[in-house]
Amino acid sequence: MIKMVATDIDGTIIRWDTGFSENVKACIKRLKSRGIKVVLVTGRMHRATTPIAYELRLATPIVSYQGGLIRDFSGKTLHQCNLSDDYAKKIIKWARENNIHINLYLDDKLYVEKDNDFVKRYTDGKFVTYEVCNFDDLEICNVNKILAIDYTDAERVTGWVNELNQKYPELYVVKSTPYFCEIGNPNATKSLGVEFLAKMWGINKEEILTIGDQNNDIELLKAGGISVAMGNATPELKACADFVTDTIDNDGFVKAMEKFVFNPQK
């Protein structure tokens, strides 16, 4: 019996352009009514995720920054894995040398060095504000993660992931959308975030369903007794999943819940 549903947000329960479907909202309400813990597990900032939790009326802790930060409904930090100051400085230097836009997250605040179209597009509709400044003027500490962005060239982003994984195999570097390269602490993964909460609640792996759509959800799927990829997921994620559901446009999340939670005998 499923006791916990750990779900990605963007591309899984939220459409990129139109937000939640009413069917997804109703499904999550139904899961809650059965006493199932629904946990948002995301690469987003914590503060960009709390409005979503409020809209869905979820009071469970949020796993943000790919697993780098877990805070409960009151805002209390339960678990945190920051990117080391030294590596953060190395990534900043690498980005400058290669003319790469990066978002720098310090203490759940977003900083950029240039106020360009990339950061405007990134923050649009995501409940996020940002500060433009020279990173040399900041104290580089308590770094949640660094996000490298190029909305114009997905292959370039893939190249960054490959380059950084080769250069810094001790870090967690992953492509979270075609345009995002995430850099974080090696222990800041979605799987470890889910496992932390499961242990806290006494829930076994076989009682967890995990669902996502991008390569950063490969780690998420590892934590589930049942792992589900969205129909719009990357080929790499589909290859890791027990089941591939329908796309987000066709309420694939809802269909997965019907199959594995509400009517598992079918």
What is the C-alpha radius of gyration for the chain, rounded to an integer number of angstroms?
A: 18
Which amino acid would we find at residue 109? K
Catalytic residue among 8, 10, 150, 217: 8
* Alpha carbons 130 and 185: distance in angstroms, whole number: 22
CA atoms lying within 13 Å on the CB side of residue 38: 25
* Alpha carbons 19 and 16: distance in angstroms, whole number: 6
150 is catalytic: no
Question: What element of type H or E holds 174?
Answer: strand 172-177
The pair of three-digit structure tokens given for residue 103, joined into one six-digit string:
């978002």
Number of neighbours of residue 227 by Cβ within 10 angstroms? 22
Active site residues: 8
